[in-house]
């Protein structure tokens, strides 16, 4: 899988399976560690830097979805930075092909609780769509990028309900100064109804995404200044 995906997009970690009786995964080195650690060190990123990372992330996930693959464990801890501070999506251990001749019905509830969509927390064996699950995780990732904290612990807690009932009030209670455009994007990505979540294509045309964006070189310079 890494061989297939990594060959087609620079934002996906390149790798290969090696071995006969025992399999090893050999992948490229992402020398600058997790995106999560970068965001934590910066205590949240300026929107211009966040947009550059989002540009790379959305490109990677859009490509994965076009290949009819759902990642199903997207999180900042599974995104890495190489020596050029370019994003690399990794850890495809939970991926599944969801359409086409090899497509499977997705029903296994898995992932990391902070990033899991509501339909993954039901406890039943109902099927779900892969791309909206990934979109939900991207919404959580975006919030963390900009504010250095999670928007909620799980998609059924009081913070999640407040965010979707009255986003501006929810942020005021937490003393977070978030723009209406930003909140619209986060709320749209983490909508309770998976059919109403923004797709990767829709993210690219969203008002927040059109704001000032750091260049790859500016992102690199900022990273090494920390």
| DSSP secondary structure, 31-45, as one string | TT-BHHHHHHHHTS-
- Which range has the worst mean pLDDT, 27-41, 42-56, 152-166? 27-41
Q: pLDDT tens digit string along 33-43?
A: 999 999 999 99
Question: Which residue spans within 68-207 are E strands per DSSP?
Answer: 69-70, 79-81, 87-89, 96-97
- CB neighbourhood size of 13 (10 A): 25
What pLDDT, on the 0 to 100 scale, is given for residue 183? Answer: 98
Q: Are strands 15-18 and 24-27 parallel, antiparallel or unpaired?
A: antiparallel
Does the pLDDT at position 52 exceed 80? Answer: yes
3-class state of residue 90 by DSSP: coil
- Kindly list the domain boundaries of the chain, sorted by start residue: 33-225
Phi and psi (nearest 5°) for 153? -85, -45
Does the pLDDT at position 67 exceed 50? Answer: yes
What pLDDT, on the 0 to 100 scale, is given for residue 30? Answer: 81
What pLDDT, on the 0 to 100 scale, is given for residue 4? Answer: 52
- Residues with catalytic function: 73
Closest CA to 71 of 80, 60, 82: 60
Mean pLDDT on 87-116: 92
What pLDDT, on the 0 to 100 scale, is given for residue 21? Answer: 54
Which superfamily does 33-225 belong to?
Answer: Transferase(Phosphotransferase) domain 1 (1.10.510.10)
């Amino acid at each position: 899988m890494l061989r297939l995906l990594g060959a087609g997009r620079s934002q996906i970690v390149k790798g290969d399976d090696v071995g006969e009786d025992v399999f090893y995964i050999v992948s490229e080195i992402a020398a600058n560690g997790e995106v999560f650690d970068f965001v934590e060190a910066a205590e949240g990123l300026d929107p211009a830097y966040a947009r550059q990372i989002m540009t790379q992330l959305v490109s990677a996930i859009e490509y994965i979805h076009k290949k009819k693959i759902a990642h199903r464990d997207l999180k900042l801890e599974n995104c890495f930075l190489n020596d050029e501070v370019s994003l690399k999506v990794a850890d495809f251990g939970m991926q599944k092909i969801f359409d086409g001749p090899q497509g499977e019905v997705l029903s296994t509830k898995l992932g990391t609780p902070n990033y899991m969509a509501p339909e993954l927390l039901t406890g039943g064996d109902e099927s779900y769509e892969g791309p909206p699950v990934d979109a939900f995780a991207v919404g959580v990732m975006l919030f963390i990028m900009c504010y250095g904290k999670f928007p909620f612990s799980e998609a059924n807690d009081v913070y999640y309900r407040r965010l979707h009932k009255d986003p501006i009030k929810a942020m005021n209670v937490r003393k977070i100064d978030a723009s209406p455009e930003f909140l619209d994007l986060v709320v749209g990505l983490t909508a309770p109804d998976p059919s109403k979540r923004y797709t990767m294509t829709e993210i690219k045309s969203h008002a927040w995404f059109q704001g000032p964006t750091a260049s790859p070189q500016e992102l690199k310079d900022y990273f090494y200044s920390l």
